[in-house]
Structure 1
């Protein structure tokens, strides 16, 4: 009888702890057209606080380990100012990793990169950015006048990432200027 009660208690414990989908059910997604990015303030891999720069036209999000590795491996082969030169900022979600793993392995590894990595390091803070997008893909949010104008999901490919960042559309030239001018008001 004791074994049955103990087994039942364990099953109920695991059932109560296993569903993460319910805890974020009431979260409002933030990576949607029209959503403001002016309130985003994150720390980088060195603990320095950053806001989304006025001139930013693209924000690259990596929610999965594979997407983050693709982005970091590519950015690490570029000039230290590559992202800034292309009016782009990079945000990596490390919130799913246990804090011990994050502090002992992930953060020290990120400090080796010459590019800035903004970090979503809290699950509650990351949840609205994760909701409604395929977190296994690289997600790109296009910014116009401080608001998201488009969201794209990219395959996990350095070539597609490079092409997306370096595209020379009229908007890629106009938007950073508009964003910077409008950001002053």
Structure 2
């Protein structure tokens, strides 16, 4: 499956490019997020969120399976005047880089077992930022398919061991049904 995932994302980044504006959810958390420290962007693709975090002053590591996406992220980072460390990893098989991390971001990427690692990887008072579509998204959109969606109401249970600072679930301005949270150690 990893090769298929890598090929799919490589092809998508090569053909379509990737959005370069950071997540509206992430930017809405501006007052809560640090301006220094270490940040991990999990499954961050072409780096739109990683670049925003780096512009804030964070030292950002972006982990993704797609070398094409990582190359785009590095190029965009240079153009933005920031440095982003990129790591190519299959997160179904390989571990996340060791912390402590002041911010861990997981946006539109779902690998449920990773949630068990986050409390151990976060620094004291570190923040977990998550944004992902739920099964209700299928009411309006065929993609992503059910296998790649959170169940409605599932996200808080995945964040066990963390304290919820902010949680919302519903239709977004972009027309998706997302679950979003900001949680802390």
Q: How high is the TM-score relative to the length of structure 2?
A: 0.29
Which structure would you say has the larger Rg? 1
Higher strand share: 2
Higher relative contact order (CA 8 A, sep 6+): 1
Higher helix share: 1
